Structure 1
Amino acid sequence: MNRDSNAYTFIFAAVMVIVVASALAIAATSLQPMQAENVRKEKMQNILSTIGIEVERDQAEQEFNAYIKEEIALTSEGDIDESVNAFNIDLAKELKKPVEEQRFPLYRAEVDGKSYFIIPLRGAGLWDAIWGYISLEDDINTIKGAVFDHKGETPGLGAEITQSWFEERFQEEKIFDPESGDFVGVTVMKGYSGGNDKNDNAIDAISGATITGDGVTDMIYNRLQYYLPYLKEKNVKVALNN
């Protein structure tokens, strides 16, 4: 075939496209198990981070198994569904279901003899999904820690929810109103002037990221409300046993 002809050029280009596409497909397929394993261990790292346990990825599973004592899947009414593996629940898929069909994963950790309840979060920011984990102390009111992540928030603005200085603002905040006793969550408040008050159910927002902050507020309230029936019952039983 004449290498200077148009036909040769088209055939050569088609063959190269097929070869490159096949190579990329093989590489992607072969890397999938490694990628899935990295995601699984990163999830463990994030869960542990909310209770102050920072570990490297290669140590994540060992430390997760040491500190996490229970993995529970709850219904929207607070009942335990033993047929579901809590760790494998995909919140992105669950949120597309009616609430009564959703399952809510919950982790109970023990650190130095104290129990913590870790709740996965997922909601909407300015541009796309935001998610994270929040842990409660055994009074079912005080936040031990929180971690957040996002898919497409604005760098330097909404994307700052992943920064430790923002996440640390949630530590020791309360989720129940101190006067009424009602569940109110934690509000990410623009123009907040409460200083270091841990009993006002609010923290200072990120400047220029109001919508993302509102998304964090809504995410915490909307997800935690489904855990309260179980956690309140658990708290009462602990109090009675003590």
Structure 2
Amino acid sequence: MNTNKNSYTIVYATVMVVIVAFLLAFVSSALKPTQDKNVALDKKKQILAALNVRGLNDAQDIESKYNECVMSDMIVKADGSVVAEGKSKENDGFKVENKNISANCLPVYICKVNGETKYVVPMTGRGLWGGLWGYMAINADLQTVYGAYFSHESETAGLGALIAEEKFQDQFKGKQLFANSNDSEIALTVVKNGKVEPEKKNYQVDGITGATLTSNGVANMIHDGLQQYIGYFSKTKK
């Protein structure tokens, strides 16, 4: 075969592309179980962070604590009706990806911390540069926040990215979901840093200086995310 011909170059390049594509597909397939396991482990770690259980890095410790705290991963609808009981802890609501959360598919994690019931719900939104997500842990009264966790795709380091830090998240502890106990509209929100109104301090949190759009994104995520669960909260209270 004449290796100087264009046909040889084309055939050679084609064969190499096919071989490389096959190898990449094989490697991806071989690594997928490990990748899926790591993704699931990170999700459990985030849920635990919302429950104020932090600092766990060992996989066995994370799994053990998750199994201890999470009783079920229910799926409910916006009207409060139950789609799945989630008794297996990670085969119902846990498997719902953020992009698939909707009025007819809302994950709820029923948890126990020191013998007290907590409800953890996921939230998604958008910041300045990309997606936001998080979890809010709510006390058994379904009125007050027990803990919160937020993260982001690509917010600015030292500014919007600070939503992922414990200092910002800790502000939500003990805050009220509603302005009044008989309300059905989420009042919990993030305002411009230093602009928390004294009469609204029970449900307002300081935003991040210099990151107004990210702070607004968190505020919208909290409102829109929690508002979907009002029907479930109302039914659970009765």
Give the corresponding residue for 1:239.
none
Give the corresponding residue for 1:22.
22
| Matched-pair identity in % | 31
Counterpart pick for 1:218 among 217, 220, 229: 220
Give the corresponding residue for 1:124.
126
Give the corresponding residue for 1:157.
159
**Does residue 1:87 correspond to 2:88, yes or no?**
no
1-side partners of 2:199 and 2:205: how far apart? Answer: 9
Pick closer, same or farther for the CA change 1:225–1:28 going to 2, 3 Å: same
2-side partners of 1:144 and 1:121: how far apart? Answer: 15
Give the corresponding residue for 1:46.
46
TM-score by length of 1: 0.83
For the residue of structure 1 that corresponds to 2:84, the secondary structure is coil
Deviations 1:71-120 (A, max 9, x none): 2111110111138822222231234xxx3xx2111111111111111011
For structure 1, the residue ranges without an aligned partner over 5 or more in a row are 237-242
**How far did residue 67 of structure 1 move?**
1.0
1-side partners of 2:235 and 2:182: how far apart? Answer: 19
**How far did residue 153 of structure 1 move?**
2.7
For the residue of structure 1 that corresponds to 2:83, the secondary structure is coil
Q: Do the aligned partners of 2:143 and 2:181 also contact (CA within 8 Å) in 1?
A: no
Pick closer, same or farther for the CA change 1:76–1:179 going to 2, 3 Å: closer
Pick closer, same or farther for the CA change 1:24–1:154 going to 2, 3 Å: same
Matched ranges for 1:39-118 at <5 A: 39-54=39-54, 55-59=56-60, 60-82=62-84, 85-95=92-102, 99=103, 102-118=104-120
2-side partners of 1:82 and 1:14: how far apart? Answer: 49
Counterpart pick for 2:203 among 201, 204, 212: 201
Q: Which amino acid aligns with 2:21?
A: A
Deviations 1:209-237 (A, max 9, x none): 2122111111111121222232233334x
Q: Which amino acid aligns with 1:70?
A: S
Q: How many residues align?
A: 231
Give the corresponding residue for 2:89.
none
**How far did residue 41 of structure 1 move?**
1.4
**How far did residue 61 of structure 1 move?**
2.5
Q: Do the aligned partners of 1:192 and 1:203 also contact (CA within 8 Å) in 2?
A: no
**How far did residue 207 of structure 1 move?**
2.1
Aligned-pair RMSD on alpha carbons?
2.6
Give the corresponding residue for 2:12.
12
Q: Do the aligned partners of 1:133 and 1:147 also contact (CA within 8 Å) in 2?
A: yes
Give the corresponding residue for 1:141.
143
